[in-house]
Chains A and B, each alone.
Chain A
Amino acid sequence: GNSVTQMEGPVTLSEEAFLTINCTYTATGYPSLFWYVQYPGEGLQLLLKATKADDKGSNKGFEATYRKETTSFHLEKGSVQVSDSAVYFCALSDRNTGFQKLVFGTGTRLLVSP
């Protein structure tokens, strides 16, 4: 079945540091890939997505590239801010199931200090 594996946290960085959160996936079909972010006390917000191989999703300085050959969708940001502190979830959905089920990784907590 489909699955998502992402690096364990917490990831602790100083402001303006470079961020990478690793995500790899296993899927039988042709998945769409997502990064969601959850700020404290809030619901999940879609951060970015990519729907096919070599697509790059980007938003708010975050980027991730859909790599089919390595089945990866790593999240990167060149310079993090304190306000980026949150939990980040990598997820996929499969067109074989009509995109009805999102499959999530366990989440990675990011802590950014001033």
Chain B
Amino acid sequence: NAGVMQNPRHLVRRRGQEARLRCSPMKGHSHVYWYRQLPEEGLKFMVYLQKENIIDESGMPKERFSAEFPKEGPSILRIQQVVRGDSAAYFCASSPPLVITDTQYFGPGTRLTVL
């Protein structure tokens, strides 16, 4: 049973470009969470999505960041007009549906570098 998949693992962008990060949850999971880890800091919650719905985006920056989890395909975290401060590791996690669980399963992360 494949775990949470993220791609790309490493992404380099120049300032002003767009970054798209993809996350495929574990098979059978319909809840997805995105976290960001800035250098020398812990992981910070960004957004929680279920299929076709954003449930909680309280941790998302107000501008340039968006997330989606379509009915088909992976969840996408999109960062428009990237700046150097966006350089970080972005982790995706997933959990099963219809069950209140406190356990999330993490992917390997995407390390974004903005030049």
Binding site for B on A (CB under 8 A): 4, 32, 34, 36, 41-46, 49, 51, 89, 91, 93, 95, 97-107
Contacts and interface: CB of A to CB of B under 8 A. Distances in A.
A4 B42 contact: yes
Interface string B1-17: 00110100000000000
B53 interface: no
A98 B3 CA distance: 23
Top 6 closest A-B pairs, CB basis?
Answer: A104-B42, A44-B106, A99-B102, A43-B108, A43-B106, A104-B43
Interface residues of B, number: 27
A100 B56 contact: yes
Contacts of B6: 43
A36 B40 CA distance: 17
B34 to A, nearest CB: 11
Nearest to A4: B42
Contact of B91 (A41, A43, A49, A100): A43
Nearest to B105: A46
A4 B44 CA distance: 11
A60 B45 CA distance: 28
Nearest to B43: A104
Given A41-B108, A43-B107, A44-B91, A101 B45 contact: yes
A32 B102 contact: yes
A101 B48 contact: yes
A39 to B, nearest CB: 10
A105 B100 contact: no
B56 A89 contact: no
